[in-house]
Amino acid sequence: MDPLIITIAPTGAEVLPNQTPHLPYTAQMLGETAAACRAAGAAMMHIHGRRPDGRPTQDVETYRAFAGAVRAKSDLIIQFSTGGAVGMTPQERAVNLELRPEMATLTCGTVNFGDDVFQNSFPIIRGILARMREFDVVPELEIFDLGHLDNARRLEREGLLAFPRHVDIVLGVPGGAEGSVENLVDIVRRLPAGSTWSVAGIGRAQLPLAAVAIAMGGHVRVGLEDNLYYAKGRLARNEELVARVARLAEELQRPVATPDEARALLALRRTTVR
Ligand code: KMH
Ligand code: ZN
């Protein structure tokens, strides 16, 4: 099996600083989190911007500062969110691509998101993809349900996406596919040949799905964006979630990828955010 790529999603757009003392929402906090997560075994960081008061933002200068802090403290692959927060406009979500991160997320369909709706119509997806092409940014396809994979295949038929690709399977969002092993296995079985994939289990699904993905040969995303708890009633630090996955991998005799090994697996070029 390929070495395991552990992605840390430390902040997200939904968790607020008053929910946990461990949420990194400034550039300095993110730099420190990058160093700690790299030491614990992470190869990639999925970044969301936040204002100084903790509110989500896709502001370019915030992303420049966050990426700069991560790069100053680590060699992690820098992946930006184009999902942003529910309710942001598509233009707002994709403005950060002009900084040319190594990778950025591309959600492949609309999904209920708790009581909200995370909008990703075909025009929205095509618009974000066009901007990714303009700035030469590699997409990570985010799928929250099986139909999102079919949507990606439709974009392939339109000539807008080429497979194989790296796919992040997000399971357990209230409104998306639930975080079960059966759903993960079903979706992985349907991925185009040659795809690489990771799983991002939400809430209590994070740990069991990480363990299953390690055994299946997939990759793993963990972090406070997706799950606040290390165990029932015990808030997590990002680096602890990474370290636990690295320990599980060691027990299962799966080596953990360095950022450069992950770049090779994902065919990424190391770039500097400008
Ligand atoms: N915050 C969610 C609505 C992404 O980063 O690309 C969307 C999200 C996906 O987090
Ligand atoms: Zn995200």
Distance 141 CA to ligand 1 centre (A): 12
Instruction: Give the pTM.
Output: 0.98
Q: Which ligand is nearest to the CA of 173?
A: 1
Residues with CB under 6 A from ligand 1: 12-14, 81-83, 85-86, 105, 107, 113, 118, 142
Strand, coil or helix: what is 238? Answer: helix
- Give residue 97 CA to ligand 2 midpoint distance, Å: 14
234 Cα: distance to centroid of ligand 1 (angstroms):
24
Q: Which positions ≥6 away from 225 have C-beta within 8 Å? A: 9, 10, 11, 12, 13, 14, 15, 46, 48
Cite the beta strand spans of 29-161 per DSSP E. 44-47, 49-50, 56-57, 77-80, 103-107, 111-113, 116-118, 138-143
Note the ligand closest to the C-alpha atom of 118: 1
Per-residue pLDDT of the chain (274 residues; tens, 9 = 90+): 999 999 999 999 999 999 999 999 999 999 999 999 999 999 999 999 999 999 999 999 999 999 999 999 999 999 999 999 999 999 999 999 999 999 999 999 999 999 999 999 999 999 999 999 999 999 999 999 999 999 999 999 999 999 999 999 999 999 999 999 999 999 999 999 999 999 999 999 999 999 999 999 999 999 999 999 999 999 999 999 999 999 999 999 999 999 999 999 999 987 777 6
Q: Identify any residues that bridge with 96 across adjacent strands, giving them in sequence order.
A: none
Report the distance separating Cα 78 and Cα 62, nearest Å: 14
CA 264 to ligand 2 center in whole angstroms: 23
Residue ranges with strand state E in 58-133: 77-80, 103-107, 111-113, 116-118
Is domain 6-266 classified as CATH 3.20.20.70?
yes
Domain ranges of the chain: 6-266
- How many alpha carbons lie under 13 Å from residue 26 in its C-beta half-sphere? 5
